[in-house]
A and B are shown apart, each in its own frame.
Chain A
């Protein structure tokens, strides 16, 4: 029940075995490939990235085309019995299918084209509906021309401008954008009038010469043609379906194998090559390492070596959650928020337990709970809905709490509720049994807050456990609103309030307030100076400040153009604390070679030029710095201590490089700023404690709301007479549907906002084993 332990492996082998090895990796379904850091650095020792175009790509396209035409959904199936190994095998197989398929598709195309033509003709006949002149008579007119078509409605008023011309028009239909027009013009004037209509954007519709009789007769004719063609098209579709049924099984196997072969080529870009040997790096779950190693080493001349997890500096292990059957469905919620870091712990069991518990409390009903479980089983079996296994589990906790509340489909007479048991109600301070749950509402609400307090404290403890071994232990695990100090404050206040108000014990004494309330608050308030006092690496931020100084003075000190002076790059560098800068000098001739010789993302700012040397600073991300540093050293860069000041270009003044930094620090240390920021942050933390705690009131609120809704259902059923059972069923279904849904959302909200926000950072990288992917590329 944790995050799956990963092993970093490196596969080495003779280059000619690379394809087989990649196929084995795909088939293992447990290998998360990473881009080797060797290939990122093209100049390191002759390592190259292995890239080549897949010879299977055209075949994959043919395969997809066939699948599309036949309506086959490609999915991964076992292809062990397919012995196709070379392109020709696949090509021959596809050719056989294409021969049959093309014959059917040609028929389909002809029919579709004819159907389209006749459908358009039918639409035209419908538009001309009411036109009772025979088309043959129109075609036979010798001295006049009749044009059908449509005119944009904006052009219709413009026709009045041409009222003196020899034409007449008839508008027989109109929609929002177009008017259907027929105009009649003497043959001799047709050219001039056609020109006028064209200039008004008239779109002429030519009447097909196969139209017989008037518009209504033409419509009947076209309806018949369209119906016959549709029938013929259905027959063709039946042929396609028959072909699909005939080939589908084998086709899927062939497609699976072909895609796996093609994908293995895609993966070649992650392979680095040196001296006729290939190297592949990736992660494998530790418990599958042996199985994976055996499978891959079955390829001759290939070996698998396990490496320390930190030997890949640019890559962190991916995260694969592994939980028992009870908690596994709740991984969905954790993934929704973001996977945990590999070095962190998996919060799924905690989420599962709290989710089931809170849902059960909020929606406690034996009948409805069991119904939700049954629904979950049905949805899981038939539709594979991801939420279904969660429904099965929360349904059971709902039923358990239903027993406690004595509620069976809202009926509280079958089982005795807990608050009606003499020992319980007497313990709660009642003389006689409360009539219903509404009479114990205050206790319910207080209990909800109690649950909230416990959960918030557990979340804080988790935060402490997570961060105590990290470099930020002091600021995150100790002096933090969610750290030990925050826990002391929160627990003290809550315990004080509970004991004083519940049992009348005077808790808030002066020493109690000073030691357990004011002192923790003061520590949170002075967190920043305390942390910086204890911080050993005081100069850590220096490089960031150099970046800021360079950004500020860059234009005034740069005599030569900077290298890679991309504003965004500098912005990006200055916004991160993982940046390093180095000041020094190099020869003027070497300055010109920087761009070609230094790799990675970096900026070089030349400050001064003295005879043949250039002094300046290079800045790079911490992870790229070793490469940048090495390349600058290779250019003869002499490292020097950063000066306090340099002369500006005009030689008018000395610019203090540390001034900017100091100014920034002064700003940071400004008492006013510190107090204002501190007060706001402290206020926000206190407010969060209150709101987070009060947020749990919804647990009690929903218990009451559930009871209230069921009361309404009972009252309605009592008034319904013979239809009482129908009202009961519909009412229960409504409550399960609406309230069950709402409670689910509310619990998830409590998990994400009140619990996760205190200890959890979802910054993990998912484990994605290499597999054959069927999705079409754009």
Chain B
């Protein structure tokens, strides 16, 4: 089964957009031309079949691309062996968390319809709560009611009931991520052994590390927040950036520069250029290269699935940036800099 999913994943990756495709896309004059072009590519041909490019809306194009990635994921999940497919629900968990955070954000902003318009309806039937009810929620209490039958209610209850109207997103995101990692590790321990389990767990530790470095760097360089404040926004799992190392760096007066140096030394390793103004981009490029390598060399079907989904999501995000740039007339050379290739 692992071989089947790896072969399938590699075949799908083989249909990805090429540099030439990206180059053609960034030079398009409007969203309709982008859709027309995507219709001719093997990867998006079926997703955009039947779509009228003359009338299609930018938001709809973005939703179609995201939906295509999700459908791809569902298709691939069928190839995962039954005794180890629990972990494959990771993407559903991730998307559930994303929906909750988005809904909370719109409620906080008082834009009650905002989430509804953005809501990916294709997730209905796959997520563990009612998306329409979440969209109809007017306050945090409503959100907790919608989530009452899910583990997220327990995670969010202390934060939402004690918030007294002031919601701290970072803390909600940290709590939900901690639950997600806990769930993932439990599932991995049950279904996998040895190096397979280790490699899968590393995904989350790596993600945690890179998020913490970015968060610390941003808070330190832009807002110069103190260590105790910063730590509230950090994930509690570590790989290389351990608590001791973090304390050591944050205690230095030039902590931001040290964080940057640490990132370059441990992850980017001079292979990826890092602009101090935009370290998120360097991290995305690093992740892209990392998962590309994983997909090429892994013999673990689940890892191949995870890597492929990451690469597809990156492609999806690249396309969204291109569509946005085309829509607002950004010059092609500037758009190119935003792409993760």
Contact = CB atoms under 8 A, between A and B. Distances in A.
A175 interface: yes
B102 interface: no
Given A178-B50, A201-B59, A154 B120 contact: yes
A176 B47 CA distance: 11
B132 A203 contact: no
B117 interface: yes
A284 to B, nearest CB: 40
A98 B116 CA distance: 58
B116 A158 contact: yes
Given A199-B117, A201-B59, A201-B60, A157 B124 contact: yes
Interface string A145-186: 000000011111110110000000000000111100000000
Nearest to B124: A157
B277 interface: no
Nearest to B112: A161
Given A157-B132, A201-B60, A177 B121 contact: no
B135 A177 contact: no
A161 B116 contact: yes
B122 A154 contact: yes
Nearest to A199: B117
Interface in A121-166: 152-158, 160-161
Contacts of A201: 56-57, 59-60, 63
Contacts of B113: 161
Nearest to A150: B52
Given A152-B60, A157-B132, A161-B116, A203 B121 contact: no
A155 B59 CA distance: 12
Given A155-B121, A177-B50, A161 B136 contact: yes
A686 B155 CA distance: 69
Contacts of A156: 121
Contacts of B124: 157
B119 interface: yes
Contacts of B27: none
Given A154-B120, A155-B121, A161 B135 contact: yes
A199 B59 CA distance: 9
A203 B116 contact: no
B67 interface: yes
A154 B59 contact: no
Contacts of A153: 121
B55 interface: yes
Interface in B117-131: 117, 119-122, 124
Contacts of B55: 203-204
Central interface residue in A153, A175, A178, A201, by most chain B CB within 10 Å? A201
A177 B51 CA distance: 9
A204 to B, nearest CB: 8
Interface string B51-87: 1100111011001000100000000000000000000
B50 A175 contact: yes
A99 B331 CA distance: 43
B132 A160 contact: yes
B119 A158 contact: yes
B136 A154 contact: no
Interface residues of B, number: 21
Contacts of A176: 50
Contacts of A200: 117
Interface residues of A, number: 19
Interface in B218-239: none
Contacts of A160: 132
A283 to B, nearest CB: 37
A203 B67 contact: no
Central interface residue in B119, B124, B136, by most chain A CB within 10 Å? B119
Contacts of B119: 158
B14 to A, nearest CB: 24
A529 B120 CA distance: 71
Nearest to B123: A154
Contact of B67 (A154, A158, A161): A154
Nearest to B119: A158
A555 to B, nearest CB: 14
A175 B50 CA distance: 10
Interface string B155-176: 0000000000000000000000
A294 B192 CA distance: 81
A579 to B, nearest CB: 29
Nearest to B58: A201
Contact of A157 (B51, B52, B121): B121
A198 B55 CA distance: 11
A721 to B, nearest CB: 50
A158 B136 contact: no
A631 to B, nearest CB: 35
Contacts of B57: 198, 201
A203 B57 CA distance: 9
A154 B132 contact: no
A198 B50 CA distance: 19
A158 B115 CA distance: 11
Contacts of A203: 52, 55-56
Interface in A621-663: none
Interface in A658-708: none
B141 to A, nearest CB: 19
Given A160-B132, A161-B132, A154 B50 contact: no
Central interface residue in A154, A156, A160, A203, by most chain B CB within 10 Å? A154
A201 B135 CA distance: 18
A129 B124 CA distance: 31
A333 B5 CA distance: 39
Contacts of B67: 154
Contacts of B52: 203
Interface string A179-223: 000000000000000000011110110000000000000000000
B121 A154 contact: yes
A178 B64 CA distance: 12
Nearest to B47: A177
A80 to B, nearest CB: 45
A176 B51 CA distance: 12
Nearest to A201: B60
Nearest to A153: B121
A774 B122 CA distance: 51
B272 to A, nearest CB: 18
A34 B142 CA distance: 80
A663 B4 CA distance: 44
A176 B48 CA distance: 12
Nearest to B131: A157
A155 B113 CA distance: 13
A153 B122 CA distance: 9
A201 B31 CA distance: 14
A507 to B, nearest CB: 49
Contact of B63 (A154, A198, A204): A154
A660 B113 CA distance: 71
A43 B54 CA distance: 56
A727 B148 CA distance: 74
Contacts of A178: 50
A203 B53 CA distance: 11
Interface string B136-158: 10000000000000000000000
A177 B136 CA distance: 25
Interface in A78-136: none
A152 B62 CA distance: 13
Contacts of B121: 153-158
A154 B62 CA distance: 13
A155 B132 CA distance: 11
Contacts of B135: 158, 161
Nearest to B135: A161
8 contacts: A152-B63, A154-B67, A155-B121, A175-B50, A177-B50, A198-B57, A203-B52, A203-B55
Given A161-B135, A201-B59, A203-B56, 7 more contacts: A154-B67, A157-B132, A158-B117, A158-B119, A177-B51, A199-B117, A203-B52
CB-CB nearest 9 A-B residue pairs: A154-B121, A201-B60, A203-B55, A201-B57, A161-B116, A199-B117, A157-B121, A177-B50, A154-B122
